[in-house]
Amino acid sequence: MPTSRFSNFLFHREPAWRHYRRVPRSAISAPLRPWLLNQGSLTERLIIASGGEFRVEVLKQCWELPRLSECRALGLGTREKALIREVLLYGHDQPWVYARSILPMSSLTGRLRAMRKLDNRPLGALLFRDPSMTRSGMELACLTPQNTTIPKQLGEFNHPLWGRRSVFWLNQKPLLVSEIFLPSFPEYG
């Protein structure tokens, strides 16, 4: 039986995102905790941790419907399309982070239109240079192999993976960035 976009949406199992203060500190390994909770630029930290051996690979960038929890986080209607950008952030030629950004059409106006054409440049570099940028409280999630939020082409994983997400506001226009630390990230070591 063929699957439609609608059936995939219905049966899609999202992780339970929770405000970081509601996640017990003991649930997160000590080496990973500062990476999840740091409010600064993850891109900048990855560049430093990789000794400059950092790159971005765009997996997907297209207009489509965000997931239900993403719509809720951004205050979007469930039928509002957004520019969805999925990338891998590499350190030492290993995929360390899978990032998914949701950019509502209404946010991509004026000077923010440039975000439509980031290519392989990191979104974080643009966000943290903008003086109007503010950030919501961080949400965390523990992803199990049963969660289907990570693209299948990234392979299987046997232990839970941690991710974080937050809404960024640029000129009072929202966008959502989710970052999942992959098995090859050194702090899982």
List, in order, residues 6 or more apart from 154 with CB less than 8 Å away: 88, 95, 98, 182
pLDDT in the model for residue 189:
62
Q: How far apart are CA 120 and CA 40, in angstroms?
A: 21
Residue with tokens 């999925």: 86
What whole-number distance in Å separates Cα of residue 78 and Cα of residue 59?
24
Over residues 51-62, the pLDDT tens digits come to: 999 999 999 999
Calpha distance 140→32 (Å, rounded): 12
pLDDT band at 92 (very low <50, low <70, confident <90, very high): very high
97 in Cβ contact with 185 (< 8 Å): yes
- One-letter amino acid at 20 equals Y
Domain 5-188, CATH number (from 3.20.170.30, 3.40.1410.10, 3.30.70.1060, 3.20.20.70) = 3.40.1410.10
At 148, list the tokens. 């289907």
Position 2 scores a pLDDT of 41
pLDDT on residue 8: 39
Alpha-helical segments (H) within 30-189 = 33-37, 42-49, 68-74, 123-129
DSSP string, 94-125: EEEEEEEEEEEGGGS-GGGGGGGG-TTS-HHH
Tens of pLDDT, residue by residue over 108-159, are 988 888 888 888 889 988 889 989 999 999 999 998 877 767 777 677 777 8
pLDDT confidence of residue 124: 87
Supply the pLDDT for residue 160: 86
Instruction: Please tell me the predicted confidence (pLDDT) of residue 159.
Output: 81
User: What CA–CA distances, in Å, run from 147 to 10, 82, 96, 161, 183?
Assistant: 14, 22, 18, 10, 15
Domain positions in the chain: 5-188
Q: pTM for the whole thing?
A: 0.89
- Beta bridge partners, 115, equal none
